[in-house]
A = this chain, B = another copy of it.
Amino acid sequence: MTKKSALDTEDSATDAAARAGWLYYVGGLTQDQIAAELGVSRQRAQRLVSKAMSEGLIHVRLEHRIAACLALEAGLKRRYGLRLVRVAPAQGPGTDPTHALAPVAAEVMERFLRQPDPLIIALGTGRALRAMAEELPKMTCEQHKLISLVGNIAPDGTASNYDVLMRVADTVRAPHYPMPLPVIIDDEEIRRMFYALPQLKIVARLADQADVTFVGVGHMTESAPLYIDGFISARDLHEQRAMGAVGEVATWCYDSEGRYLEDGLARRVGGLRAGGKPGGEVIGIASGPEKVIPLRAALKGGLLNGLVTGEETAEALLADPE
């Protein structure tokens, strides 16, 4: 009757494991106490507790609204091989997704800013980053360097409304390196001239060494922020879309596989691509239904290795099969 006895021992072993797990996780006893209670050695108690957990007898649940967000974070990390993911809880329908994102994004950035070691922090632009900047607390970060990836001169010649760099640098009191050029430079000669400027080379070199980069992610539908804000023309938009553009990061468009497009508009962009030093973090900050396609592409192509997004967006990013 080896079979029956095997079953018996298996059952009683599982029973003992369950009992030990109950005492440990529910009762809060120490393994010594469990050993005494069950009349076994401490090591055996430890093994039973471990077995209870590994066999899934113990089910742990987190009773909090961010529990779902944490699960989404884990899913996104695994699926896209990301290093840092934060998912902001949904704030109910009708609320601006960017607004919900800002405090969470600010928290992420604050963590970098609080590092005592000097960091090079590169910044893109856009509404999400602007909102993040508003949520940053006042602090003093003389040790870091903030640099901008995008030009700070809007098409009309004024400083851009969404100049994130200045706002952040002002709030956190850090040395900062703006990019003194237009977002889009139509004349190739002038563009080359800009790029030859010494201070721009400094910024470019810093950007290449960035420890962490924060960028927004733009969509390329008819309501593309680049177009709405007048940085590119309808014709540019259609051209890029025809070339397969589904999103842009720091004005650089990419296709559905997350590959940067090298022709057309890309030849007129004033600014740098997100990247930073090898092993540096590139964190995308974006949320909303229109961001799902651009985000998925950017993540697939490895343009980002970090993400701050909203609950619904995260769900959408994980919804479709691999």
Q: Please list the residues of chain A having a beta carbon within 8 angstroms of any beta carbon in chain B.
A: 10-12, 14-15, 18-19, 21-23, 25-27, 29, 33-34, 37, 39, 52, 56-68, 70, 74, 89, 91-92, 95, 100, 103, 111, 114, 137-138
Contact A18 B67 (CB under 8 A): yes
**11 A-B pairs, CB-CB below 8 angstroms?**
A14-B64, A15-B67, A18-B62, A18-B66, A22-B67, A23-B92, A26-B62, A26-B70, A26-B100, A29-B92, A39-B114
Chain B: minimal CB distance from A147 (Å):
22
Option from B15, B19, B27, B61 in Cβ contact (under 8 Å) with A59: B61
Contact B74 A63 (CB under 8 A): no
- Residues of chain B within 8 A (CB-CB) of A137 are 61, 63
Chain B: minimal CB distance from A320 (Å):
25
A21 touching B100 in the complex, CB below 8 Å, given contacts A27-B92, A91-B26, A92-B33: no
Option from B10, B34, B92 in Cβ contact (under 8 Å) with A65: B10
Contact A15 B66 (CB under 8 A): yes
- Residues of chain B within 8 A (CB-CB) of A103 are 26
Chain B: minimal CB distance from A250 (Å):
25
A70 touching B19 in the complex, CB below 8 Å, given contacts A25-B62, A60-B25: yes
A15 touching B58 in the complex, CB below 8 Å, given contacts A27-B95, A33-B92: no
Contact A39 B92 (CB under 8 A): no
Task: Determine the residue in chain B with the shortest Cβ distance to A40.
Answer: B111
Q: How far is the CA of A95 from the CA of B137 in the complex (A)?
A: 27
Contact B138 A91 (CB under 8 A): no
Option from B19, B39, B64, B66 in Cβ contact (under 8 Å) with A66: B19
Contact B21 A62 (CB under 8 A): yes
Other than A58-B61, A58-B62, give 5 A-B pairs with Cβ distance below 8 A.
A11-B67, A22-B67, A26-B70, A27-B100, A63-B137
Task: Determine the residue in chain B with the shortest Cβ distance to A17.
Answer: B64
- Residues of chain B within 8 A (CB-CB) of A114 are 39
Q: How far is the CA of A64 from the CA of B62 in the complex (A)?
A: 20
- Residues of chain B within 8 A (CB-CB) of A37 are 92
A70 touching B22 in the complex, CB below 8 Å, given contacts A64-B14, A92-B27: yes
A62 touching B57 in the complex, CB below 8 Å, given contacts A89-B19, A100-B27: yes
Contact A60 B29 (CB under 8 A): no
Task: Determine the residue in chain B with the shortest Cβ distance to A14.
Answer: B64
Q: How far is the CA of A95 from the CA of B33 in the complex (A)?
A: 12
Q: How far is the CA of A60 from the CA of B12 in the complex (A)?
A: 22
- Residues of chain B within 8 A (CB-CB) of A74 are 27
- Residues of chain B within 8 A (CB-CB) of A70 are 18-19, 22-23, 26
Contact A26 B60 (CB under 8 A): yes
Option from B23, B58, B66 in Cβ contact (under 8 Å) with A63: B58
Contact A22 B56 (CB under 8 A): no
Q: How far is the CA of A125 from the CA of B137 in the complex (A)?
A: 42
- Residues of chain B within 8 A (CB-CB) of A56 are 63
Contact B60 A58 (CB under 8 A): yes
A91 touching B18 in the complex, CB below 8 Å, given contacts A57-B64, A61-B61: no
